[in-house]
Structure 1
Amino acid sequence: MVIRNCLELLSELSELERIMDEQKRLLKNLNIEVDCDETLISTLTTYLKSKNKS
């Protein structure tokens, strides 16, 4: 059970990373700089809070 949950989380993180990379590329095309580390931390924090409420 724990291993399955870890694999699901890794899969979700991988998808999140892909989405963020795509968004970063789009923003770069618009000459907008974003602190991706801070954005990732904020996004993960929000995600984990929502998961804990479920």
Structure 2
Amino acid sequence: MFSPSGWGPVAYFSVPGSWALRALVPGATVDRAGEAQQGSLTEVVIAVWSAAV
């Protein structure tokens, strides 16, 4: 799932448990761990910058 503008928050819904979140962009991959709990909001920040070519 991605932000339509390419910038900003993205929300998704999951079952409770441990999750691995992965951002795939040209030239990079970023992994973050997350823990979803019923009735709670979990925030995971993934920042990717593009180097000027």
TM-score w.r.t. the length of structure 1 is: 0.32
Larger radius of gyration: 1
Query: Which one has a larger percent strand, Structure 1 or Structure 2?
Result: 2
Greater helix proportion: 1
TM-score by length of 2: 0.32
